[in-house]
Amino acid sequence: MSGLSRPRTALDSAAAADAAFAAVAGKPFPADLFSAPRLNWAVIGCGVIANQMAQTLALAGRHLVGVANRTYDKAQAFAERYGVERVYKTYAELYADPAIDAVYITTPHNTHIAFLREAPAAGKHVLCEKSITLNSAELAEARALAAEHGVVLMDATTILHMPLYRKLLAEARSGAFGPLTLAQVNFGSYKEYGDLTNRFYNPRLAGGAMLDIGVYALTVARLFMASAPDEVVSLANRAQTGVDETSGFVTRNAEGELGVFSLSLHAKQPKRALLSFDRCYVEITDYPRADRAVITWTADGRHEIVEAGEEGYALAYEVADLEAAVAGDTRAAGLIDIAADVMDTMTRLRYDWGVYYPEERAIAEAAGVSVAGE
């Protein structure tokens, strides 16, 4: 660990993922990345993340076994492109297939809970794309169902799975960094207004900054904090559709650790996390799939680089963690607890701002507010 990190050009998420794949495409796949027994995977949905999953497994010499999608023709095309053996005409057909051990849900946020009810009941382990549910009540229901049916439920938020964070956490928990005082986290995207029926601004697709990008910001801070926040203060501006567009908020937990966050869907800013400890601060850029961080030590101002993993293997780390959890790895299985803390905070903030989705109509009515977009 030495020197300073190289600068990175700002890319949108799809271009960044393509660049990350290109960077590892010619390298031997790490022999130790998968340590648990291999599961047979199916993917639900054929969008960007499903394509990335298929590409990631191909790097490891593995393939998805099955695919199901709302549109069967798209599922067929996806299967032909990636050599997927089984294409299901219905989700029920997928659930009934004993050859499938685990499913990766890659559909829009507001559709997740239906799959999270059905897949565990069919005995399938579930990796679910962020945000795992719309709110904390849905996540509690999904966790209860997974426990009832003896399957693993895992949140696919990449921060939970990147080796860099495991390495940094080991250092932090050893006491080398000293106590955490402050986490400052930014995430700003620039999404055109244009057609506001797109998923970013449409309340019927669970749009808004919190579920799309806030989940990353809160997760990176919560990983290093001793406990979940019990105090939250915030301000937010809402888009004309009623979803949260730009926000600033501060959290504090029982240990007095502060988190300061800024999010926007219509103002570009760096994806930057700054974790301030007693003996150093840790800076992580492009933190959702980061493989590099810079530590600046308080005593002498010395810079130190920490590197672990590869951005291009981000989804492979998710697969590895679920397979490890199924095999009995308590660390991997416990990641859902962090996800639940983050979901609690996201839900609290949205409701403070009066942002309720159509699926939350009853909760909105009880609070005396209108549903987003109405």
DSSP notation for 249-307: EEEEETT--EEEEEEESEEEEEEEEEEEESSEEEEEESGGG--EEEEEETTT--EEEEE
**What is the distance between the alpha carbons of residues 159 and 165, in angstroms, rounded to a whole number?**
7
Question: On the CB side of 190, how many CA atoms lie within 13 Å of its CA?
Answer: 7
Q: Is 191 a catalytic residue?
A: no
Catalytic residue among 74, 89, 124, 130: 130
E strand residue ranges, 48-113: 66-68, 86-88, 102-105
Q: Let me know: does 280 contact 298? Beta carbons within 8 Å.
A: yes
- Which residues have a Cβ under 8 Å from the Cβ of 365 and sit 6 or more positions away? none
E strand residue ranges, the chain: 41-44, 66-68, 86-88, 102-105, 125-128, 153-155, 180-190, 229-238, 244-253, 258-264, 266-277, 280-285, 292-297, 303-307
Active-site amino acid positions: 130
